[in-house]
Amino acid sequence: MRPIFIAGNWKLNPPTLAEARQLAVDLKVQLPSGSGVEVAVCPPAAFLAPVVEAVSGSSIKVGSQDSSPHASGAYTGELSTNMVKSLGCAYAVIGHSERRQYHGETNQSVNQKTVAALASGLVPIVCVGETLAEREDSVTFAVVEQQLREGLKGLSDSVKTGAELVIAYEPVWAIGTGKVATPAQAQEVHAFIRQILASIFNSAIADRLVIQYGGSVKADNAEELLSQTDIDGALVGGASLKADSFVGIITAANAVAVSA
């Protein structure tokens, strides 16, 4: 059985270190005891170390929102995977749609960053998903398949069990818009992703790989989404910025885990 994995992407929030630390502490305090759900938060790079410290002693893990394909060198502003790992982080989000849109991320750069993350012992959360125009043009599957095949190229030696990697399907048209794919729409793409993963790796690895859904996930729609066969968690944006709303999603996920 695959674990349910809920990760909060804080993006460029909150504005101060004090608020970031308080959010982490509030989440640690409010996290349901005995939860069978894996939980992580991904704060801005400047807040990684303090957030790692704030959640210490809990089951909450921390990830970066990006990482460099370079180990060191003259790369101003970059954050290497070894740096992220040394701060106590477990994950790195790679290829988020906002990185693709605003920073020129390509499937090739996603591949390079994923290779570097795996080499350092980080678990990459590799994001894929289509724009509204691509969905309306009925090319969702083609876009997602290309992102997967090019982004995960050459990783068969690094991914041996499926636990080393997480995929997040984020329909770009449902991020920050209040729109959300229906459970059936999300499940359809998640099942397709697992099929492609089986061809990239093998069926046993694909069956164990966690595939998150990311796209306006909230406490009131989380349980229905997470009850779908191939949806194994959520990459949460805005709803992760308040402890009570994020915990509400975790609680819904726990209900699904208990009933499974």
Q: What residue ranges in the chain does DSSP mark as E strands?
A: 5-9, 38-42, 61-64, 91-94, 123-128, 166-169, 210-213, 233-236
- How far is Cα of residue 6 from the mean position of the Cα atoms in its chain? 8
First to last CA, the chain: 9
Query: Catalytic site residue 170?
Result: yes
Query: Catalytic site residue 96?
Result: yes
If one counts every other C-beta atom within 10 angstroms of the C-beta of residue 196, the result is 20
- How far is Cα of residue 194 from the mean position of the Cα atoms in its chain? 16
Percent helix, strand, coil in the chain, to 5, is 45, 15, 40
Instruction: Single out the catalytic residue among 38, 96, 98, 145.
Output: 96
**Joined tokens for residue 6:** 């809920």
C-alpha 111/C-alpha 94 separation (Å) is 9
Contact 96, 9 (CB under 8 A): yes
User: Bridge-partner residues for 148, per DSSP?
Assistant: none
Rg of the chain taking only CA atoms, in angstroms: 17
Instruction: Single out the catalytic residue among 98, 105, 145, 170.
Output: 170
C-alpha 6/C-alpha 41 separation (Å) is 9
Contact 46, 27 (CB under 8 A): no
C-alpha 107/C-alpha 87 separation (Å) is 27
The CA-based angle 78-129-179, given to 5 degrees, is 110
Positions marked catalytic: 96, 170
